[in-house]
Amino acid sequence: MDKAVDLARMFAKTMSEKCTPQNGDYIKDGLLHCGKCNTPAECRMIFHGEEIIFPTWCECAKLAADERERRSAEAQRSVRAAELRRLSLMNGRLSECTFAGANKDGENSRSMIICERYAEKFPKMLADNRGLLLFGSVGTGKTFAAACIANALLERNYSVVMTSLVTLIDGADDIIRRMDDIDLLILDDLGAERSTDYGFERIYAVADARYRSGKPVIYTSNLPLETFKRSEDIRCARIYDRVLERCYPVEFRGVSRRKREARRGFEEMNELLGV
């Protein structure tokens, strides 16, 4: 017992020697007090019936420690966010897509609202393994909407990978190895991949691995929903079954935005050239 008390006293003495009193510190009621915040920098503790004085943090020391911890956590979040963006495989154009810059009054306003709500409720979507199938004609905003979801989640430090199915075929093994570490996988342009047995097998391998991982996928596709429901190609059907089982279909309609931009550019050139 005496040995334990002696060890405790030695520890308290060592700690006290490491805590250099600052100008203005003073003794009150037998304890060192901080001259800055006027709170105790020492405390009394009963150890095996013996009173021992240990150093402790005064209030301003606690605040300083909390601030250091906050800054450290913020720095770690910034590093993680940068790393997540690097791993997301999104190019510069897609990395700038946000719901704040989205048109929520057009013909796809409901679809954009659904996508925004999906991002807002992502903790539940992640827990329940619920994804989306964004389908519709070329250039109607499916990829933009998917990128908005990705960026919203990256801002909240979720891990997101967004890549095209065409690119995925060659890098499928890497994605499969990281499958359990990816909170949301976004696969763009389903149906545009090469129609070969090898291509189908690679895509099915990713879809199946993701299915078994229990985490959500967002697919975009130019194919109509009916194709997903009634594909006669068995290779496609087994992929589409995985998609429809876990992905809520969201349709994007209208004329291609790229076509509208091209038409506007053509009209501007007509005016400039006086045609």
Whole-number pLDDT of residue 134:
98
Whole-number pLDDT of residue 267:
56
Q: Which range among 39-43, 118-122, 191-195 has the greatest average pLDDT?
A: 118-122
The residue to which tokens 């499969």 are assigned: 176
Whole-number pLDDT of residue 194:
60
Contact 198, 251 (CB under 8 A): no
| Res. 275: pLDDT tops 70 | no
Provide the pairing of β-strand 26-28 with 31-33: antiparallel
- What is the spatial distance between Cα 63 and Cα 111, in angstroms, rounded to a whole number? 47
Whole-number pLDDT of residue 16:
54
Please name which of 222, 232, 237, 227 lies closest in space to residue 192, comparing C-alpha atoms: 222
- Per-residue burial over 81-97, b = 16 or more CB atoms within 10 Å of its CB, e = otherwise: eeebbeebbbeeebeeb
Secondary structure (3-state) at 103: coil
> Is the pLDDT higher at 219 or at 256?
219
pLDDT tens, 1-10? 566 555 555 6
- Per-residue burial over 187-209, b = 16 or more CB atoms within 10 Å of its CB, e = otherwise: bbbbbebeeeeebbebbbebbeb
Q: Please, what is the Cα angle at 148 between 145 and 149, to 5 degrees? A: 95
Question: What structural domains and CATH numbers belong to the chain?
Answer: 1-87 (no CATH), 88-259 (3.40.50.300)
Whole-number pLDDT of residue 185:
93
Provide the pairing of β-strand 184-190 with 217-221: parallel
Whole-number pLDDT of residue 180:
81
Whole-number pLDDT of residue 192:
76
DSSP 2-61: HHHHHHHHHHHHHHHHHSPPPTT-EEETTEEE-TTT--BSEEEEEETTEEEEEE---HHH
Please name which of 236, 170, 180 lies closest in space to residue 204, comparing C-alpha atoms: 236
Lowest mean pLDDT across 79-83, 98-102, 163-167, 249-253:
79-83
DSSP strands (E only) in the chain:
26-28, 31-33, 42-47, 50-55, 131-136, 160-164, 184-190, 217-221, 247-252
pLDDT tens, 204-223? 888 888 888 999 999 999 99
- Mean pLDDT for the chain? 83
| Res. 112: pLDDT tops 80 | yes
**H or E stretch including 243?**
helix 234-246
State percent of the chain over pLDDT 70: 81
Q: Which range among 74-83, 186-195, 216-225 has the greatest average pLDDT?
A: 216-225
| Res. 45: pLDDT tops 90 | no
What is the chain's Cα-based Rg?
30
Phi, psi of 43 (to 5 degrees): -145, 155
Whole-number pLDDT of residue 250:
97
Question: 46 pairs with which residues across the strands?
Answer: 51
Can you tell me the mean pLDDT for 24-30?
88
Whole-number pLDDT of residue 131:
97
Query: In the structure, what pLDDT confidence band is assigned to residue 269 with cuts at 50, 70 and 90?
Result: low
The residue to which tokens 């105790």 are assigned: 40
